[in-house]
Structure 1
């Protein structure tokens, strides 16, 4: 029996962000400019499921190893889920300073703020507080630079692996990565029957009971890119 590791995830004030998102008048236009950020914002994460998922991470193979199969997030899957293309340029590297989200929220609530500015601020807040969380109540300058680069997917995937791998080796700690994105990736591979829990099993029991034939191998991301995720 594996020893259960103790993980924690970054808590975010989603109420304020979701209230700000209600002010976006053109949802389609926002998606064209910023991809699936609003979908990520509106994702209600079942934290117990993510906590259980991380227990199955295998640092030797750098993937999630289950009873009879393995799963691993890919650039293509993250790109699809975030609705953000992978740019052919060097991903972000380098440290920076920080900016308080309170300042950005105040700017977004000014009556003189135009719709484009409001959407820019909302997108930046999602980057700083959800996609790339770091310090409490601060939007990290790194997140701002990634926001301007318009190439978040490689860094998101790298952050996911680094956070989970590092904490798994330590056996505990905070996982600083985009939990909603990791959650959406995992449930995209789960069969609809997984959510029917008439036996009242725990998440670990339900995951261990899955067979390779039940797993959704060909996700929409794979269909779009012509290979498996």
Structure 2
């Protein structure tokens, strides 16, 4: 029949030439058969845009994903697998949905005129390496009610299956993009890397990935804390250390000043005011969380100081399984942690004050 007559094989995988599918979509469009036309049109988007393999060819992988109607995990898998392969081979062409990858990428970049115009004709590597933490748009409020898929099945992270292989994705490194705070370096087990290529899977990872998605574990505000979209010093120190260990592929120039023009219309001004309100609420939430942690440490320090250190022979203390020297070490550890937290808190407050300093005053200061 017509389907079998046009089914061909490219690169070891079956599929249909795009010309055949376009002709069929045109036929059903002229016949006013909306359902058939829309199905073929969407299938072409899946095969040529979302999951490209060969030019002018829609393969069976794209058709299967189309039938499932949830392309997101596979889109992520394709992007990560392709970039991982290119990194392993020190170059090459990324094969995935590039328009979507580009859109996601630039959504985090500054929207200022200075950055977008690029009057200095800088390369992308130069423009990106000159950005600072405050230049990045980390979070979109559209994700306020979203829960994170934190892990699946036997894996401590999220196994993603692409059309050309599979790779693990580490949500612990992406929490800030979903609004949650990054407080400390992630545990090594959460960063476990798993990868295989299609047709090269001696460990049977593909089948294990499929089974893992039958047991999805999610996390939200209750487990990850308030949505304040910040990164504290312990985490940023860990990132800097990794960058120094693995080396960045490009030079790190001095940050480029991004001039921001003042609001010229009332709607724009209102948007800025709302943004300031959001930032204020985020800082208030973070302040409350830090203060609560400080109170808890204060309570424990007070207990250790008065019950154990001042009176190590206290009847209640004598029932404890450890000596007073052990508790003294605990006390010193907690005191140091508290001091570190207070220092981090002060640094965050100073950053907030600097960010709110009026431009005119900042220009007058030496």
Measure, in 1, the Cα distance between the counterparts of 2:43 and 2:78.
Answer: 18
Return the match for 1:136 from 44, 55, 58.
Answer: 55
Higher helix share: 2
Could you tell me which residue of structure 1 aligns to residue 92 of structure 2? 173
User: What does 1:88-107 align with in structure 2 at a 5 Å threshold?
Assistant: 97-107=14-24
Could you tell me which residue of structure 2 aligns to residue 191 of structure 1? 110
User: What does 1:212-227 align with in structure 2 at a 5 Å threshold?
Assistant: 212-225=133-146
Instruction: Report which of the two structures shows the higher radius of gyration computed on alpha carbons.
Output: 2
- How many residues align structurally? 135
Measure, in 1, the Cα distance between the counterparts of 2:104 and 2:127.
Answer: 17
Measure, in 2, the Cα distance between the counterparts of 1:213 and 1:143.
Answer: 39
Given the superposition, is the C-alpha separation of residues 182 and 220 from structure 1 closer, same or farther in structure 2, using an over 3 Å criterion? Answer: farther
Measure, in 2, the Cα distance between the counterparts of 1:116 and 1:203.
Answer: 43
Given the superposition, is the C-alpha separation of residues 99 and 133 from structure 1 closer, same or farther in structure 2, using an over 3 Å criterion? Answer: same
Measure, in 1, the Cα distance between the counterparts of 2:80 and 2:110.
Answer: 24
Return the match for 1:120 from 20, 39, 47.
Answer: 39
Contact 1:189-1:219 within 8 A present in 2 as well: no
> Is the deviation greater in 106-115 or in 150-159?
106-115
- Unpaired runs of 5+ residues, structure 1, are 1-94
Measure, in 1, the Cα distance between the counterparts of 2:122 and 2:110.
Answer: 16
Contact 1:219-1:228 within 8 A present in 2 as well: no
Measure, in 2, the Cα distance between the counterparts of 1:149 and 1:96.
Answer: 19
Could you tell me which residue of structure 2 aligns to residue 108 of structure 1? 25
Q: TM-score, normalised by structure 1?
A: 0.55
Q: TM-score, normalised by structure 2?
A: 0.35
Per-residue CA deviation, residues 5-36 of structure 1 (Å, 9 max, x unaligned), is xxxxxxxxxxxxxxxxxxxxxxxxxxxxxxxx
- Unpaired runs of 5+ residues, structure 2, are 1-11, 148-174, 178-366
Please tell me whether residue 209 in structure 1 is matched to residue 209 in structure 2.
no
Measure, in 1, the Cα distance between the counterparts of 2:21 and 2:65.
Answer: 17
Could you tell me which residue of structure 2 aligns to residue 19 of structure 1? none
CA displacement at 1:221 relative to structure 2: 4.8
Measure, in 1, the Cα distance between the counterparts of 2:117 and 2:144.
Answer: 26
CA displacement at 1:220 relative to structure 2: 4.2
Measure, in 2, the Cα distance between the counterparts of 1:225 and 1:204.
Answer: 32
Measure, in 2, the Cα distance between the counterparts of 1:134 and 1:162.
Answer: 14
Contact 1:107-1:113 within 8 A present in 2 as well: no
Per-residue CA deviation, residues 21-66 of structure 1 (Å, 9 max, x unaligned), is xxxxxxxxxxxxxxxxxxxxxxxxxxxxxxxxxxxxxxxxxxxxxx
Measure, in 2, the Cα distance between the counterparts of 1:144 and 1:97.
Answer: 10
Measure, in 1, the Cα distance between the counterparts of 2:142 and 2:14.
Answer: 35
CA displacement at 1:196 relative to structure 2: 3.0
